[in-house]
Structure 1
Amino acid sequence: MIAVIQRVSSAHVIVDNETIGSIGDGLMILIGMEDADDQSDIDWLCNKIVNMRIFPDDKDVMNRSLLDIKGDILLVSQFTLHASTKKGNRPSYIKAAKPDVAIPLYENMILKLSSLINRPIETGKFGADMKVSLVNDGPVTIHIDSKNRV
């Protein structure tokens, strides 16, 4: 499971000209699933995300977590995070999980993140053509792969 996490001051997702998810201060998370992912990937990744100290403290040092600041989460599925660009100029997405595997993983991640921050999170719409806008605060952008835990 690959996540691209961006610290934001605001973010929103539009589908069919309608805003379906919107947050203020917090994390915009793009998530890509593969067939080998399971609940242990979700649990590890979600705990890592909400506890990562990437928000500034009173001395402007990145020393506070999403939990510390009571920040929001906007989670958007993005299969293109698993793009392989080794051959040719057209990326291959063979490693990305198909919807029958990815949708349950995505839904379980929504539940896990919501339980960890003790309130609902905002989301995109799985498989939809989404327009994602954000104001990256910092900028702070971090890439995490649950298969590289060591």
Structure 2
Amino acid sequence: MRALIQRTTEASVSIDGSTVAAIGSGLVVLVCAMQGDSEAQSAWLARKVANLRIFRDEAGRMNRSVVDVGGAALVVSQFTLAAETRGNRPGFSSAAAPDDGRRLYEHFASALAAHGVPVATGVFGADMAVSLVNDGPVTIWLDSDKG
């Protein structure tokens, strides 16, 4: 599984102009299940996100996790993280099939919540508008196959 994580002071997801999810301080996690991924990759990714020390401590160093700071996570499905860009038109054939993608996306959100992170989610497969204030800015790329 792949994830793009952004540290944020606030974030929301809207569909057709209506807000469906919002958080304050925490993380926006764009998630993509890849072909062949399983619940093991989803669980690994959730643990990694929950424990990633990218929030400032008292000395201003990135030394605290989202759990440590009491932050939340806005989890949004993002199949375009599977983009293959050899040519000028991206291909997405390495993304998981929609049923598998939904199952693993939901598993990831549940696994992240089980680590004590309040989780809000977008709507799988919907055309969403994601708004956020990237704090830092801090943006981190994770891939369960790269460990």
Shorter-chain TM-score category? over 0.9
1:108 aligns with 2:103: no
Alpha-carbon displacement from aligned partner over 1:74-119 (angstroms, at most 9, x marks no partner): 0000000000011x31100110112111111111111111111164
1:1-28 alpha-carbon deviations (Å, 9 max, x no partner): 1100000000000012110110011000
**Do structure 1's residue 55 and structure 2's residue 49 form an aligned pair?**
no
**Match of residue 20 from structure 1:** 20
Identity over aligned pairs, percent: 48
Q: 1:29 to 1:118 in 2, by over 3 A?
A: closer
- Quote the Cα distance in structure 2 between the aligned partners of 1:18 and 1:54: 30
Matches within 5 A, 1:31-110: 31-86=31-86, 88-110=87-109
TM-score of the two chains, using structure 1 as the length reference: 0.95
The whole-number CA distance in structure 2 between the counterparts of 1:32 and 1:143 is 12
- Counterpart contact for 2:7–2:139, Cα < 8 Å: yes
Structure 2: give runs of 5+ residues left out of the alignment: none
Could you say which residue in structure 2 is the equivalent of 1:132?
Answer: 130
What TM-score, normalized by structure 2, do the two folds share?
0.97
What corresponds to 1:145 in structure 2? 143
SS state of the match for residue 88, structure 2? Answer: coil
Offset of residue 65 of structure 1:
0.6
Specify the SS of the correspondent of 1:117. Answer: coil
How far apart are 1:64 and its partner, in Å?
A: 0.6
Equivalent pair of 2:67/2:117 in contact (CA under 8 Å) = no
User: Structure 2: how far apart are the matches of 1:33 and 1:108?
Assistant: 11
Over 2 Å off, 4+ runs: none
Distance 1:125 1:145 in 2: 22
Aligned pair count reads: 147
Superposed CA RMSD in Å reads 0.9
Q: 1:18 to 1:44 in 2, by over 3 A?
A: same
In the alignment, residue 51 of structure 1 is paired with which amino acid?
N
Structure 1 CA distance, aligned partners of 2:141 and 2:112?
Answer: 17
SS of 2:115's equivalent in the other structure is: helix
Structure 1 unaligned residues grouped into runs of 5+: none
